Amino acid sequence: MPQIPYLNDEAAGPADLVAAIRERRGGELLNLDRILLHSPPLARGWGALLGAVRGEFELPALTRELAICTVASLTGADYELHHHEALFLQAGGSQAQFDALAADAAAAAEATKLFDAGQRALMAFTVASTRHVIIDEATFAALREHWPQPRQQVEIVALIAAYNMAARVLVASGITPE
């Protein structure tokens, strides 16, 4: 059960914001939306930020989903894992990779048979960022080997930060998958 009650359709508002969220979601409000809409400014800003992170960054879809699923696993954000499994698979990840991430992302970051060197560097970076915030030079250097452009590096840092924010809201609020 959520720690904060979900808003029902009648209580969710303002109407223009709810309509925009429904359009983005294919007509439905998710449980996350039903919590965020308790604060319309938060719901509006959330949509803008996460929309840019997921829809405007130049990172490949698999890179994005691998980082998101790693954050979700590390933080216990089952809601995030539930919603991103299909996206991870659609982006080219395998079921074995997803299962390893969901079971233990930190251990999966070292799984040379499941993940290539670039993926392991991204996962190690995500583990360090999520658990410690400060990234040591060796971990950042490994990331730079595979994502040498500053824009890529900034987008990876921001992606991980944004989904750590999402995970913390999901877990602290007790939001459950639909």
Q: What's the predicted TM-score (pTM) here?
A: 0.95
Residue 152 sits in the same domain as residue 75: yes
Confidence of residue 1 (pLDDT cuts 50, 70, 90): confident
pLDDT at 8: 95
Confidence of residue 53 (pLDDT cuts 50, 70, 90): very high
Give the pLDDT mean for 30-55: 97
Give the dihedral of Cα atoms 89, 78, 20, 35; nearest 10 deg: 180
Q: For 57-76, how does the pLDDT look when each residue is reduced to its tens digit (9 = 90+)?
A: 999 999 999 999 999 999 99
Residue 113 sits in the same domain as residue 25: no
The two structure tokens encoding residue 107: 């251990």
Residue 127 sits in the same domain as residue 88: yes
Share of the chain above pLDDT 70, in %: 100
The two structure tokens encoding residue 173: 């609020």
Residue 39 sits in the same domain as residue 119: no
Q: What is the mean pLDDT of the chain?
A: 96
In angstroms, the CA 41 to CA 55 distance is 21
Residue 80 sits in the same domain as residue 167: yes
pLDDT at 109 over 90: no
Residue 124 sits in the same domain as residue 150: yes
Would 10 be classed as within a structural domain? no
Q: Total domain count for the chain?
A: 2
Residue 79 sits in the same domain as residue 142: yes
- Asked whether 31 and 175 are in contact (CB, 8 A), the reply is yes
Residue 46 sits in the same domain as residue 121: no
Work out the angle at residue 118's Cα, subtended by the Cα atoms of residues 116 and 119, and round it to the nearest 5 degrees: 65
Share of the chain above pLDDT 90, in %: 96
Q: Which domain holds residue 146?
A: 61-173
Read off the CATH number of the domain in which 75 is found: 1.20.1290.10
Would 42 be classed as within a structural domain? yes
